[in-house]
Amino acid sequence: MSGQSLNLARKRDAAKLTEGMHGVVVYLLAISCVINLLALTGSLYMMQVYDRALTSGSVQTLIALSVIALGLYIFQGGFDAIRTRMLVRVGARFDHTVAPIAHRVTMDMPRFGFSGTEALERGRDVDTVRSFLSGQGPGALFDLPWIPIYLAFIYLLHPWLGALTLAGAVVLTLMTLGAEVAARRSATEARQAAMTRNAIADSNARNAEVIKAMGMAERAARRFAAANEAHLALQTRASDVSGSFGTVSKVLRMVLQSAVLGLGAFLTIKGELSAGAIIAASVASSRALAPVDQAIANWKPFVAARQSFARLRETIVALSKAGEPMPLPAPNRHLKVDRITVSAPGSGQILLSDVSFEVMAGSAVGIIGPSGGGKTTLVRALTGIWPTLRGSVRLDGAELEQWLEEDLGRAIGYLPQEVGLLDATVEENISRLAENEDSKAVIAAATAADIHDMVVRLPGGYRTPLGPQGTSMSAGQRQRIGLARALYGSPFLVIMDEPNSNLDGEGEAALTRAIEQLKARGAIVVIVAHRPSALAAVDYVGVIQAGKLAAFGPKEQIIRPGTASPHEQAKASPGLPSVNAFPIPGTMDKRVSA
């Protein structure tokens, strides 16, 4: 991927956040101009009533002025309602466009080292921006550019009144900027504290059974309470800052309005201003400063929306891709791992280094090694969950990045170490949420995993809802449904991480049969295992130690009959006395074929 292509992709993805908004903003500015012009109705009406109707004593003039003012007020209200409805729809349009993108980002972020709480923040960011766009804040911002209309009107009444109002607007604007500077750091710290608190709450919820069983509830609650207190302190400080500025601005606005009345009265006494102009100037000055006052009142939501929008933009840009690759034929020949090095997202710690091997169609490979050696990291690299720092994983010679995501997903079956089922039916889980489920393929996958009889005994059969995380099922049942999901659609590469950790003898026999069937139809199977029963049907074994591929070859050469279990063998000394030593990757060709 070239740097130029990536930059273009980032600009394209960032533009999606504001796509189609330029014309809407121009239209809203035009409506706001009309609204603010019509808002002068009150000032003009009061001036005409005092200077024309009262002095002439004409009831007809008063009625005519009142009718005209009423009509203008109705027009102003209509345009204001149109603007409000448009802003609500702008917020809904933003949510409609960005929420799916943000959700994709939410699913991708944990792969790059972000916590689940940080990932879920992106969904909340969309809600924050939409709520602001649909509220009163944008209306105040659209009114701000038209303050000069009122200043010009007041200046025409008398230059001194215009100067006083302008000075008040400048002071309030400076206060708004001061509130922004003073509250920025507190708001950022409060957000970080909220994320810490939410992370603790999420962790406690996910580990509720352990917390209950081991008497940790009180300590867990106190840990949450401490994080909550820190968040409340920072939130209170931020609210104090914004609240103080809001109060001061309100007082200043009232003082300024009274000052305009006082100065107007002085000018009237001097014979430089009419009585009606005093009221008109007071009403106009109040209207001129109202957008500033509303902006200060809505400053906290505005800052939150701006920060949320910036986070959405930064995250989407960071995860941008140069473009969709060209569709490729389904793989059916071989898997090649070419000197890959993989680091942990977030920390950057190297977990797997310089690993190479190649497996042909119709073969099963077992990966053994001590805990923490890099086995699961290898699995994540083979599935494309974690990107490689160096080297490549290739299917039929094409790197994983060259495949369309959905095409690659159809070619890969993945059974993770901790099986998580979706809050959906058994059928939807096995079919990977296919929009048009192939019932024959679902039943074939369930039969291959030997769970068809178990599923049909459920109250709703394949249409039985599993609930959140599939908690209605036992660990063994969840693992076998996860196996059926991995086998759905006859994938070419099936990767299983500890597939028999929760299986009984019957389940392990079904697993062995499934592996044999996969090999028979020309698939490649990669199994990470500690229990030797999972390796019954494998042809080759690789030993991962300290992030290196220490040995790779036919099973009978790596694991000697009658010796210790693979897990115990993998814990052996670096010389691997209980396995036949194979050269470190790179010293010989590790190509194997069925």
35-90: pLDDT as tens digits: 999 998 988 898 888 888 888 888 998 999 999 999 999 999 999 999 999 999 98
Give whole-number Cα distances, 538 to 141, 479, 523, in Å.
67, 20, 12
Helix crossing, 3-15 with 299-318: angle to 10°? 150
Strands annotated E in 369-492:
390-395, 398-399, 412-415
Strands annotated E in 403-539:
412-415, 493-497, 524-528
Computed over every residue of the chain, the mean pLDDT equals 83
Neighbouring CB atoms inside 10 A of 215's CB total: 8
CA gap 513, 498 in Å, rounded:
16
CA gap 589, 567 in Å, rounded:
25
Q: Report the run of H or E that residue 545 belongs to, with start and end.
A: strand 540-545
Q: Residue 579 gets which letter from DSSP?
A: S
pLDDT at 350: 93
Burial tier of 230 (Cβ tally within 10 Å: 0-12, 13-18, 19+): middle
pLDDT at 469: 65
- Token digits of residue 295: 């902006």
pLDDT at 572: 46
- Token digits of residue 217: 């509830």
pLDDT at 208: 80
CA gap 301, 312 in Å, rounded:
16
- Chunked into runs of 10 residues, the chain (594 residues) has average pLDDT values of 58 71 87 91 88 85 92 93 91 86 80 73 86 87 88 90 88 76 74 83 79 84 90 83 75 84 89 86 85 77 85 75 80 95 86 94 93 91 91 95 90 90 90 87 93 92 83 82 93 92 79 91 92 84 93 87 50 39 35 37
- Token digits of residue 118: 């940080």
Strands annotated E in 67-181:
none
Question: In one letter, which amino acid is 265?
Answer: A
Give whole-number Cα distances, 463 to 161, 455, 488, in Å.
75, 9, 17
Q: What is the DSSP string of 5-21?
A: HHHHHHHHHHHGGGTTH
- What phi and psi values does residue 31 have, to the nearest 5 degrees? -65, -40
pLDDT at 542: 94
CB-CB contact of 510 with 449 (8 Å): yes
Q: Which letter, b or e, does each residue of 479-516 get, where b requires 16 or more Cβ atoms within 10 Å of its Cβ?
A: bbbbbbbbbbbbbbbbbbbbbbbbbeeebbebbbebbe
Neighbouring CB atoms inside 10 A of 166's CB total: 17
Question: In one letter, which amino acid is 197?
Answer: R
Q: What is the DSSP string of 148-212?
A: HHHHHHHHHH-HHHHHHHHHHHHHHHHHHHHHHHHHHHHHHHHHHHHHHHHHHHHHHHHTHHHHH
Q: What is the CA radius of gyration of the chain?
A: 35
433: left (phi over 0), alpha (psi -120 to 50) or beta: left
Q: Report the run of H or E that residue 472 belongs to, with start and end.
A: none
Q: Which residues contact 132 (CB under 8 A, 6 or more apart)?
A: 91, 138, 301, 302, 304, 305
pLDDT at 382: 95
What domains lie within the chain, and their CATH numbers? Answer: 3-318 (1.20.1560.10), 334-548 (3.40.50.300)
CA gap 253, 40 in Å, rounded:
19
**Given 3-state DSSP classes, what are the helix, strand and coil percentages for the chain, each rounded to the nearest 5?**
65, 10, 25
Question: In one letter, which amino acid is 563?
Answer: T
- What phi and psi values does residue 516 have, to the nearest 5 degrees? -60, -40
- pLDDT tens for each residue of 474-488: 888 888 899 999 999
Beta bridge partners of 358: 336, 591
The C-alpha angle 546, 566, 579, rounded to 5 degrees, equals 75
